Amino acid sequence: MEYVIEMRNIRKEFPGIVANDDITLQVKKGEIHALLGENGAGKSTLMNVLFGLYEPEEGEIYVKGNKVVNNDPNIANSLGIGMVHQHFMLVDKFTVTENIILGKEPTKSGKVDLKSAAKEVQALSDQYGLRVDPYAKVEDISVGMQQRVEILKTLYRGAEILIFDEPTAVLTPQEIVELIQIMKKLVSEGKSIILITHKLKEIIEVCDRCTVIRRGKGIGTVDVKDSNPDSLAAMMVGREVNFTVAKGIADPKESVLTIKDLVVLDSRKVPAVNGLNLNIRAGEIVGIAGVDGNGQSELLEAITGLRKISEGSIHLRDSDITNKTPRNVTRTGLAHIPQDRHKHGLVLDFSVGENMVLQTYYEKPFSNNGILKFSPIFEKANKLITEYDVRTPDAHTPARALSGGNQQKAIIAREVDRDPDFLIAAQPTRGLDVGAIEFIHSKLIEQRDKGKAVLLVSFELDEIMNVSDKIAVMYEGRIVAEVDPKQTTEQELGLLMAGGKRGTADAE
Amino acid sequence: MQNNNNKIKFLVPLVSVLLGLLIGGIIMLVSDYDPFEAYVALFQGIIGGPYFIGETIRQMSPLILAGLAVAFAFRTGLFNIGVEGQLLVGWLASVYVGVFVDAPAIIHIPLAILAAGVAGALWGAIPGILKAKFKVHEVITTIMMNYIALYSTNEIIRQFMLAPGERTKTIKETASLSSPFLQKITDYSTLHYGIIVALIAAVIMWFILWRTTLGFELRAVGFNQHASQYAGINVSKNIVLSMAISGVFAGIAGSMEGLGTYQYMTINAAFTGVGFDGIAVALLGANSAIGVVLGAALFGGLKIGALNMQSIAGVPTELVGVVIALIIFFVACSYIVHWLMNRVNKGGKI
């Protein structure tokens, strides 16, 4: 059997750790091959070895049966290996065509020949069903289309083997469906795909075979049709994983958060939240389902005091928190796990310890008359690090050095520990592996069971359906429906999220 | 890892200094000067005897304060190019109090220094407010404020304080930082008590940044405004405050000239350059208090030593300017130094 890519017994060491230990990966021509593993298992290292960014200490790489020494991404390109990065490498101010040809510009008498380049881009996008506008500026197009530009970049360079690095992490459910179709189209046109992911559902849906790595070691390769999410998860984590979130029945009590006729303008002065009403009670988790861009971010910013409210009111218990400062709202009893942990959740250059007191540094015992008290600060930090299992060398390590899952755990530790009445969790598990997701979900439910009100915003329908006690569907700045997660389906939610009316589910 | 980083932080300026001296030497060689003779004279001019040491330390005081001003703002993510202007208004304010107020030294000196600090703070706060309220970039406004300071102080001296010789009157003795004792032990150099003020300021800068909640907020804003806002920190207030505190250091740097070195203020035809040197000192000192003191020592030393180099070895002082520029160049592109050190390290292993 000839493989289009064969990596044999790869070993890659970094000072102090073995990132890849005897990993073998064999990809057949025309298949979608999943590379599955937890955060930090060594997936990216392995792909960087394949892409020529790292040189392995041991092992051999064969491309189409020929042994290659690959120590430069340019060699990888010439071998027909292309990578679609998770964080897009695009120039915002350039057009789609300019981005695609960047570094390999066709020229005509010394000038860049944009016309024929655009034609070629159009031809490629037609061939593979990648809808793009060659003349649109990247800053003006959707995330889904930006990803298609990334794919076209590799195809334009003649890639035969495409590596997708967690491609669905940034996409909406609709865009994911589209991407899956594109991937199927690509293999039907003779390309081969390596899909790096930790989302089991996607593997089951599109992949032919799956190679699992755990803590740097190759665990094995399985045929996807012979496996199921449970067996894959067990291979990845090394133990049984609980998918259905274990939780008792909610026992909602009095109202904690009351939002009345809320209107919030976005940065272009257009109402993003437009007459929204919502009520969250103590002891329940309300999940907001909706396609990204329907006012979720603006709603959260309005509640937390980061954005001005033009009309309406928000009450937290009996206090009016409409247009109060963030600190004021926080002190009234709000904890907030923000959507973007790097932008809002952490000061990455601060130590883990300093980040743990980011909301409380001005209070006793962490400071006294404006003078910081470091021993209580680091005592607290160490306690939280142990309690929430934040994996860090110590509390003095910069937050930047932690993995995404541990950064998130640090934020959750900080917010939950303050023990407020109301907790906002915005996309709390984005980009995290099943182990971390399990932990975070259990913490949210623990808060609920302690009688707190929890607001969950997520673009993952599974998460919304599994964790929430009540689902509020947000569409064009309003809550258009409130449904019971036990009595709804993904189809119905999808329809409501797209602005459809409730129909079939009500009749049942 | 952390330890290694600290080592590199320390090594980069050191290697940069050596590289700067080395290339400066090559330039001297090419220009037909003897680099060995020149450098011997240079170092003698810095530490070769009490007089030179005194002069070097005197030169350091305003440089430390100017460096602290730049470094402090930089920690909050602000680039204060206006230290020069804040220094000029501070200089004038200290001389004004020194000339027109009558008080015993124990009150007069602190009062004059305080006046310099307040003047610098106000001058620094204006770009801060413009940035916080209207998002005007502080680099533009602080540069403009430098010119406003230069011509305004000149005009104020002309209108209200003019004495013969295109300058103000000399300050009263009760406001003077000069010290017969320090002058005597340094072989009658111009050394004055300003160095004590500068060192205290360095300790205060370190304390504010690393030991107070205010410093915590300022640093948080410097690293990540979004996260700071999320955590309830008032970002606008911190920007204004940071520029004002930076201005205090710059203003007091001016009082070093007004109360110490000159005891009056001249009508300046051009900028003193001390404020701009502060940028280089802060860069050299990696924006830390101790680093700024060391950076100022190097700068002050080279400037004073250059005079000796010219008189003894006949090498023009401009060549020291070249060496200083080279050192800044290598610190700024520390990448080259990192690369060089990696090469040396690897070579050592093989």
Nearest to B42 by CA among B25, B67, B62, B64: B25
Which of B211, B216, B230 has its CB closest to that of A326? Answer: B230
Residues 44-103 of B with CB under 8 A from A: none
Query: What local confidence, expressed as pLDDT, does residue A113 receive?
Result: 87
Phi, psi of A328 (to 5 degrees): -60, -45
- Residue B140 has what DSSP assignment? H
Does the beta-carbon distance from B213 to A362 stay under 8 Å? Answer: yes
H runs (alpha helix) in B31-49? 35-47
Any idea which of A125-129, A351-355, B134-138 has the lowest mean pLDDT?
A125-129
Cα–Cα distances (Å) from B178 to A402, A496, B66, B238, in that order, read 53, 80, 20, 36
Is A152 within 8 Å of A125 (Cβ atoms)? yes
Write out residues in chain B with pLDDT < 50, as ranges.
Answer: 1-2, 348-350
Both ends of chain A: CA-CA distance in Å?
A: 53
- Taking the Cβ of residue B178 and every Cβ of chain A, the question of whether any pair is shorter than 8 Å is answered with no
Both ends of chain B: CA-CA distance in Å?
A: 23
In chain A, which segments carry CATH 3.40.50.300? 5-237, 242-333+424-432+452-508
Which of A344, A371, A397 has its CB closest to that of B227? Answer: A344
- Reported as a single tens digit per residue, the pLDDT across B225-235 is 999 999 999 99
Residue that is written with structure tokens 């008792």 in the block: A248
Does the beta-carbon distance from B224 to A347 stay under 8 Å? Answer: yes
Residue that is written with structure tokens 């491609």 in the block: A167
Long-range contact set of residues A326-333: C-beta below 8 Å, sequence gap at least 24: A326/B229, A326/B230, A326/B231, A326/B232, A327/B232, A327/B233, A327/B234, A328/B232, A329/A303, A329/A304, A329/A305, A330/A304, A330/A359, A330/A420, A330/B232, A333/A420, A333/A421, A333/A422
> Which of B2, B74, B216, B241 to mutate against chain A (most A CBs within 10 Å)?
B216
- Taking the Cβ of residue B204 and every Cβ of chain A, the question of whether any pair is shorter than 8 Å is answered with no
Does the beta-carbon distance from A372 to B212 stay under 8 Å? Answer: yes
Quickly state the pLDDT bin for A108 (edges 50, 70, 90): confident
Nearest to A224 by CA among A201, A245, A241, A244: A201
Does the beta-carbon distance from B213 to A354 stay under 8 Å? Answer: no
Query: What local confidence, expressed as pLDDT, does residue A98 receive?
Result: 92
Does the beta-carbon distance from A349 to B223 stay under 8 Å? Answer: yes
Query: What local confidence, expressed as pLDDT, does residue A505 receive?
Result: 44
Q: Which residue of B has its CA nearest to A361?
A: B213
A242-333+424-432+452-508 carries CATH number 3.40.50.300:
yes
Question: What superfamily would CATH give domain A5-237?
Answer: P-loop containing nucleotide triphosphate hydrolases (3.40.50.300)
Query: What local confidence, expressed as pLDDT, does residue A1 receive?
Result: 60
- Taking the Cβ of residue B235 and every Cβ of chain A, the question of whether any pair is shorter than 8 Å is answered with no
Q: How far apart are CA B341 and CA A83, in angstroms?
A: 33
Report the pLDDT averaged over residues A71-81: 85
Does the beta-carbon distance from B229 to A326 stay under 8 Å? Answer: yes
CB atoms within 10 A of CB B333: 12
- Reported as a single tens digit per residue, the pLDDT across A46-56 is 988 998 888 88
Q: Higher confidence at residue B348 or residue A211? A: A211
Q: Which residues of A touch B214 (CB under 8 A)?
A: 370
At residue B188, what is the residue type?
A: Y
Quickly state the pLDDT bin for A92 (edges 50, 70, 90): confident
Residue that is written with structure tokens 């981005």 in the block: A99
H runs (alpha helix) in chain B? 2-30, 35-47, 50-75, 83-100, 105-134, 138-156, 180-185, 194-211, 213-223, 225-230, 235-255, 274-284, 289-308, 318-332, 334-349
Quickly state the pLDDT bin for A508 (edges 50, 70, 90): very low
Is A235 within 8 Å of A40 (Cβ atoms)? no
Nearest to A422 by CA among A467, A454, A464: A454
- Taking the Cβ of residue B216 and every Cβ of chain A, the question of whether any pair is shorter than 8 Å is answered with yes
- Taking the Cβ of residue B135 and every Cβ of chain A, the question of whether any pair is shorter than 8 Å is answered with no
Q: What is the mean pLDDT of chain A?
A: 88
Query: What local confidence, expressed as pLDDT, does residue B209 receive?
Result: 94
Structure tokens at A159: 């890639």
Q: Which residue of A has its CA nearest to B230?
A: A344
| pLDDT higher than threshold 50 for residue A432 | yes
Query: What local confidence, expressed as pLDDT, does residue A243 receive?
Result: 67
Give the CA angle between residues B117, B121, B124 to the nearest 5°. Answer: 135
Its ipTM equals 0.84
- Taking the Cβ of residue A110 and every Cβ of chain B, the question of whether any pair is shorter than 8 Å is answered with no
Does the beta-carbon distance from A370 to B214 stay under 8 Å? Answer: yes
Is B290 within 8 Å of B280 (Cβ atoms)? no
Nearest to A357 by CA among A343, A383, A377, A338: A377
How many angstroms away from the CA of A323 is the closest CA of chain B? 13
Query: What local confidence, expressed as pLDDT, does residue B348 receive?
Result: 44
* pTM: predicted TM-score of the whole model, two decimal places: 0.80
Give the CA angle between residues A431, A434, A439 to the nearest 5°. Answer: 100
